Chain A
Amino acid sequence: MSVAEQNAARSSDTARARHRLLDVRKLTKHYPITEGLLRREVARVRAVDDVTFHVDTGETLGLVGESGCGKTSTGRCLLRAIDPTSGEMVFDYGDGRVVDIAKLEGRALKDLRKDMQMVFQDPFSSLNPRWTLLDLVGEPLVAFRVAKGRELEDRVAELLRRVGLRPEYLRRYPHAFSGGERQRISIARALALNPRLVVADEPVSALDVSVRAQTLNLLEDLQQELGLTYIFISHDLSVVQHICDRVVVMYVGQVVEVADTSSLFFTPKHPYTEALLSAVPKPDPDLASSRIVLKGEVADPSNVPKGCAFHPRCPYAVDHCRQVEPKLETLGDGRQVRCHRAHELSLSGVE
């Protein structure tokens, strides 16, 4: 479908889509497990399974869950760093162009890079150690032939200043910088083309606690200055609470709960969210720990349990949960939850 056709198809609901930057529908990423020389498929890993959510302009959407729940795969699908198996990811450029990221190829896909960028988790692996800051931060500018020579240096110096690094560091190599500083370099690179959406994949989890706050504040400041939209992938709920407006909770490739941050933290609707919240450390030593320790391990995404994927670990599971897979239900005020017992349970959040 061409861009024009898509525009026509979506013109009916432009009013609704005005603030909607990205609409992810039924996004699925399966990895086949193969065996032998002929690559016979013996099983498939459901890394991302039927994920639906949306992102509005200017907000920070959190994507949380345990490791292996598919949050990183989701983030990478959004940027087409990996190709999704199926599903739609409708992106609104804000100038009348609306595209399905899943279908982009060649030139159009490259164009998307200008508006969507990524900040990686590992500040060591994400910067080529053989390149200077000028090359690293200037890479997108060179790739899109935006600037070169003297102008490139000025642009990169400005970007470095913006993320709190000295512009005279231009000729230095990443090995001269600490993890926190490297993450700033990575952020500067992501901002080089002035994107609208930045996918931050656990940007602070590899950093020392002392520099986490600095980096988070930097991200917030940049959001305000540049009107950025973030998808913030994290397993650390205290960080998510600090920075996110809305949160998508994932479990074994599926969305189990979507809510704005305060509702999610105070009145979780899914037992998995409740368990995650109970694990957030509380700064007051007098508070009795009411941590819910989940039984067993995270389900194997290549062998998802029948019924509700969470039922083997769920303290509230009933027979129905073991038989029938729950659907993602929409409750009032934009909340969504994937649980049969969402209406009857009264779960505890953080006080």
Chain B
Amino acid sequence: MLRRILGRGQPVAAGVPAATAEPTQPLETETEKHDYAVASEWELMWYKFKRHRLALICGVVVLLLYVVAAFVEFIAPYNPEAQNPAAAYQAPTRVHFVDAEGNFHLQPFVYGTTSQRNPDTFELEFVEDTSVIHPLQLFVRGDSYRMWGLFDANLHLFGVEDPNVRLYLLGADRQGRDMFSRIVHGTRISMSIGLVGVVMSFVIGIVVGGISGYFGGTVDLVVQRIIEFIRSMPTIPLWLGLAAALPADWSILQIYFAITVILSLIGWTGLAQVVRGRALALREEDFIMAARLSGTSRTRIIVRHMVPSFMSHIIAALTLAVPEMIIAETALSFLGLGLRYPAISWGVLLQEAQNLRSIALAPWLLAPGAMVVIAVLALNFFGDGLRDAADPYKR
């Protein structure tokens, strides 16, 4: 199919017969060739991107993460702030298919637990009560929440019907809050801070990079030296300094935006360099000169020729910038200088797990770290795939 045609590098350009020659191939390949011949840039990119399996899979993961970020209240089985002192540091609830009598159930289920203190170590120990089976169910009524500030609801994607039985898929924290729900809620801030930060970097980067590449000469020289200067600054101390300067009485939302601004202050440099590089490369392209010689106006050349040539590269660069932002937010929050309780982000969750007791007795509290790794890897591979596909015309 198309992949076969594309798989051979540049075969179709060479394979299309001379203009006047009659088609000799069977009909099927003719239609394929026709599809390829009329395929736009985005279609070509899609063919190329599809061949990069890992990037495709990671793209799906990224998409899922953002779907989760959009519907956290619905996906999380519990309110992330719901405390349960009796369940402090409870280990992840085991999901069973086979009951105590050895019968297999198609529907997964959990047992309720009772806690008791170990007389020797004074630790709370949790024992499963195997007398009652609580099946896991989809679309369960539970804690009520306000969806996107628009309407009230209490429907959750999954859970147990009995409100007295708590499902701790990833265990509970010091106050008996469900880690799984907290991680799901953290997805919203952690994933979106990358996007919002990147949008700001993007604006600064495209303006500065565009100016640098378009004017060239002295302007370019000065801008490039400034970028190198900014890049040479150690980021963590700079962020620390800026974050420490934030007023303590700011709301979560204000801090959130202040942090994105701080992150983008450094993040824009990479994007500016991508834009500049493309602008310089484009200046050399004959088709820009051809457009000028055809009488096309400067505005039209920028809008119809230059911006579309940039676009795919910029999208790839943006995707690769998002994980940097996520890492940066996590690092700042972990150090206690980024977002703070009551905000929930992966970094905040990790900061809460920052003690020996968590590591020794409740390693599931480090699960947000795994989420950071998954998100960053997925975005990186996805971005790599996009970058490779960004220029389907490379010869």
Contacts and interface: CB of A to CB of B under 8 A. Distances in A.
Given A140-B295, A143-B297, A173-B40, 10 more contacts: A79-B293, A124-B395, A126-B290, A127-B290, A128-B305, A129-B41, A143-B300, A177-B16, A178-B13, A181-B18
Interface in B293-321: 293-297, 300, 305, 308-309
A113 B294 contact: yes
Contacts, number: 102
Contacts of B33: 176
Contacts of A126: 286-287, 290
Contacts of B44: 175
**Range of interface residues on A (Cβ < 8 Å):** 35 or more
A18 interface: no
Nearest to A145: B295
A177 B284 CA distance: 22
Interface stretch (A163-171, A229-237, A271-279): A163-171
B13 A176 contact: yes
Nearest to A117: B293
A193 to B, nearest CB: 8
Interface residues of B, number: 39
B297 A173 contact: no
Contacts of A81: 289, 292-293
A114 B38 contact: no
Contacts of B36: 176
B290 A173 contact: no
Contacts of B147: none
Contacts of B18: 178, 180-181
Taking each of B13, B18, B289, B290, which has the highest tally of chain A beta carbons within 10 Å of its own beta carbon?
Answer: B290
Interface string A144-183: 1000000000000000000011100101110111101100
A124 B295 CA distance: 21
The 10 closest A-B pairs by CB, nearest first: A176-B37, A126-B286, A140-B294, A143-B295, A129-B393, A172-B37, A113-B295, A128-B287, A125-B286, A143-B296
Interface string A126-144: 1111101000000110111
A322 B253 CA distance: 79
B12 A176 contact: yes
A193 B290 CA distance: 13
B14 interface: yes
A114 B16 contact: no
Interface in A94-135: 110, 113-114, 117-118, 120-122, 124-130, 132
25 contacts: A81-B289, A117-B294, A118-B293, A120-B286, A120-B289, A121-B286, A124-B395, A126-B287, A127-B290, A128-B291, A129-B41, A139-B294, A143-B295, A144-B295, A165-B19, A173-B37, A173-B39, A175-B13, A176-B12, A176-B36, A178-B13, A178-B18, A180-B18, A189-B290, A193-B294
A143 B287 contact: no
Taking each of B36, B293, B309, B392, which has the highest tally of chain A beta carbons within 10 Å of its own beta carbon?
Answer: B293
A175 to B, nearest CB: 6
A122 B286 contact: yes
Nearest to B289: A81
Interface string B1-33: 000000000001110101110000000000001
A182 to B, nearest CB: 9
Interface in B32-78: 33, 36-41, 44
Interface string A22-65: 00000000000000011100000000000000000000000000
Interface string A170-211: 011101111011001010010011000000000000000000
Nearest to B297: A143
B295 A110 contact: yes
B287 A125 contact: yes
B285 interface: yes
A126 B287 CA distance: 4
B11 to A, nearest CB: 11
Interface in A66-92: 79, 81
A36 to B, nearest CB: 9
